[in-house]
Structure 1
């Protein structure tokens, strides 16, 4: 995969998740009785470089309803607050954003 193509795929993933997250936040705001499952989740990291961790953390924070909180001292875990967490949230971040970040930075 070329570098340009990898960046375009990363942008696609980001904007797709951005749209889905905006929709989820809007539905939650318009329906205050909707159950919210807010949680702080630990995301085990495979990306090892500081630029990779920074890019991933910023992509998470720029997505409505999520905020990156902390990276462990050893750089192996990213903690994020998620407005509507599921059991699959960490896996979704790893298989989506993190996989694409690793592709653009290798």
Structure 2
């Protein structure tokens, strides 16, 4: 992982583009699920370990999780090591954790520690 670059405008634009992509993919998945004649969702709360350590980084991630359809950040532990996330479909908690880590947290780590 490269060093965070909080003052690099291109890094922020890249993060915005990745987040927009994730937003559209998640919105499509939520639409498919809600328009499906049979809802086979297993909502749940998932503990997501965090690699981000700064207050700004964790706050950015929590906002991105909450703005992404189908997920809501509920709580961050005092030591900023775990974020509790409500997922619309948490049938596979490990997949939820991996998705947040790879698709949201890793790009956020490029701009904030």
Does the alignment reach a TM-score above 0.5? Answer: yes
Q: CA deviation at 1:34?
A: 2.8
Equivalences for 1:44-83 in 2 at 5 Å?
44-83=49-88
Q: In structure 2, what is the equivalent of residue 96 of structure 1? A: 103
Question: Following the alignment from structure 2 to structure 1, what is the Cα–Cα distance between the partners of residues 88 and 37?
Answer: 13
Structure 1: where are the runs of 5+ without partners?
none
Aligned length in residues: 106
SS at match of 2:110: helix
Higher helix share: 1
Across the aligned residues of Structure 1 and Structure 2, the Cα RMSD in angstroms comes to 1.6
Write out the 4+ residue segments of structure 1 that deviate beyond 2 Å after TM superposition: none
Flag structure 2 segments of 5+ consecutive residues without an equivalent: none
CA distance in 2, matches of 1:103, 1:55: 12
